[in-house]
Every structure is written in structure tokens, then in C-alpha cells.
Structure 1
């Protein structure tokens, strides 16, 4: 007796630029570990102008999408429902398609950041510092709202970004104080420091790492380690990198899209580590 083949299921990551994304390696590793041979995961270069057309062209085989910049906010008007977590920071990095064709928006960066911290033993801190502003910083504030019992200080460049971070704090119910980037070396004294800045932005801070640092969460994963992360480890501080965040948010995406819990964290992390080592450049 021949078994009926299961219908194909598709997912992908969208963004611009997108060639650097590690999401295909992570999701494909999950499908292999879970025995989902009828699932595939692709990568598509899509900008804001092309997003609505891309979504309109999808057939019922599609289970979900991972979104990176610049689509996390642009997708919101195109969705049928957005979770409270995603709405809180106006950023959707995951779209799940229901059987009746509805588009549901979620943000797995925030709980992914929390899970990455918990995995390394950081479940609660009395205060924290955030380096930088922008979309990743707002997600960091939302995550810190779940584990930080006191004040969060955001070190930013310029009054406009300072006002933006204070606004996010008010919206998220988090006490946020802002300080000028020129004083960013003072952030390193906090028990938890979350660096959300582009590559190279924190290099000058490496010389200011204290003798007994707490925990550094640097959201970058390439190049790795950053100078700040290397200096932090040299002083025996706890360091969590961007790959940890990438893997944990992808685990949650796989669970949302496939309905299978838990997703294979170990296999997905190994796939991400291999992809980083073997990627061009």
C-alpha cells in the first residue's frame, strides 16, 4: 500500500539586502531534524515597494515568512492581525499564514533575546544599559522590560534619538534614562549591557571594560568577536553574541510556522555556526 505524499510547505526570509542571511541554514536544519522533508525554505530579495506584490503572489503552500530590514514595519498594514509583542515595538519579523488565508504578524526577536539571556543564566537584573538606538534597541527595551527590575540607561547620539528611546520606554512601561554617546564608557559598569550598534561602533569602548564586568549581549554575529566582546571575555565577563539571538528567534519562528514544539535548538545552532565559518568572506 502506497502512502499519500504530504503536501509541500514553503517558507522563506525576505529583505534587502538578503544574501548574508543565515535564516535558510537555521530553518533547513530544523526541517531536517524534524523529518519535514516536504518543507522548503528560501531567500528572496524584496524591498518595501515590492512587498505587497510578493505577498499577493503567494499560494496556499506557504506557511510563513521571516522578515528582516527594511520590511519589519512596512509589513504591518498588509497583515490581518499583529500580536501585542510586535505591536508594542511596531516591528514584525515573522508572518504566519493560517489555513483560511489570514496573515498573522509576530515578533520573535523580543522573546528570543529573553531566551538567549536565560540560557546563559541571566534571568533578572536590577539595572541595564543599552548602546544605540533604532529598531533593535527598541526590541532590547521590550525584552529588558521582562527581566530588569530598575532603570535602563540608553547611550545614544543626538537629542532626536534620545527622545525616541525615552518615548519607547514610556510606551513599554520601562524607566529609560538617556545619556550622550560620549559617555558610553560608563555603560560598561552596568550588570547587563546590550550593544545594538553597527559593526565597529563600539570598538573604542574595548579599552574601557572594567576589571570585573557583568554580562555583555552584543547583537552582532559577523564579524565575531567584536573588539568589545573580545575585551569583555578577556576580563572573564559573560558574553552573549548575535548568533545566540538569531538562533533563539528562529527556534520560535519554526515553532510558529510548523506547529511543532520544541524546535531543535542544538541542530539549528550547529547549522548557524557552520554557516558562519563557511560563508564567503
Structure 2
């Protein structure tokens, strides 16, 4: 069983049907071993099939899925996870996340986090975590589950949204930061500062952004349907950004938040 999470994973957000299958199939062939999906993406079956067809030993893979808000009640939580595992063709996931905290407490946080912990106790997941939680919600989650139980908070992080309050809280509580949408749908890849740094390193803007994220100790899960991009992203490790370049990118923060549905929490 994979106990460490690869810093670069292949995300599957917005990938449907054959696109999801092919993206995961290509990623695994190229050497990715960390695959991220979610119940709400509607692609767990395709992701599971691509993993099965790859014939890579399950122990070499790190698979994440996320429980959707409709399944938070005690009666629905574990049955929904078992359905996800069937689709993924696996007895367990490496990481199970609460996809979004509930704004209205229609299901109390203590109820769904208790179920999350139960999933781990039953061996249905190796690690448990959260996604899109604010600092106040993380504090509440730690009160419920105890210090050190939450493996990661998966949040939107890219040069235009650096989410510093949340990240600082995660670091204080030994919680890994997983950065989703690292390219901000491509917005940051056109940034003059990023492009200049990329030119300096004879790298792509995407490689620079991934290096910036991973050099800070975060994990990230960009998605792509293009083999060229998936392969190129893996080369991020050849880029070593200087302290000055890291600081330059730090100045690009502009609170440019893209994942902000009407049920989102009151952000930090």
C-alpha cells in the first residue's frame, strides 16, 4: 500500500467518459502513480477501468476520491463510499476527502467527520482529509477528529490565489496542502512574470508553476487530456526556482478565486 503521496498527481475534474479514461490511461503510462477523482465528477468508473487496464499493482498507486455533500448523512456515507470503491475496482482508496463543508449544517460536521473516521477504521481508506475548508472549519474538524488525524486540506492554490491564511493553518497543524487548479484554467500560464521565469529556465510556464507549488511542500493535481501536457508536467522537477524567483511569484497573488459555487463557505 502506498503510504506516501506523490507530489504531482493526475486530476480528473471536468473529465467525462472516454476523456477521463484516456487521461488516466495516458497518465499511468507516462509514470503518474497518484490519481485524483470524486463522486461528483461522475467518472469514478472510467478512472477505475483505466487503472484496472493498466495492470499496475494496486500497491504502487495512490488513489483519492471525495464524498459528495448529498452523501454526508450517516445512512448514506459508507454505502456511497462502497459504491465508489466498486466503480474504482478497489477494496480501498489511499485518501478519502470530504469534498465541501456544509454551510448550513443540515448534516452536522460531527456526523460526517465521524463517518469519515469510521471509513478509515474499517480499512476502506488509508488516510482521511478535507477539501475547501476554511481556517475556522479546520479548527472545528480538529476539535472533532483530534490533532494529526487530517492528512490534507485540498484547496484552490495558484499564483493568483495563494490562500495564505489557510496554508499557514495547515502547516501549524501538520496538515498537507493539496493545491487544485494550479494553472487557474490557464490564466497564470500567460502571466508575464511566470513566462519570463520559464524562459530563464528553458521550461514551460506550467513547469514553473508546478515547481513553485511543490518547492513549497504542497501536492498538486493538474488535469489534462493531452499526452504532451501530461508528459511535460512531469518534467517540473528539472526546474529549481531561486529564492528571488519564488518571491517574484509570491507577489502575483490577487485573490483570483475560480472555484466559488453558491454553497461555498465564507472564505478566509
Q: What's the TM-score once normalised by structure 2's chain length?
A: 0.38
- Greater length-normalized contact order (CA 8 Å, ≥ 6 residues apart): 2
- The structure with more radius of gyration: 1
Higher strand share: 1
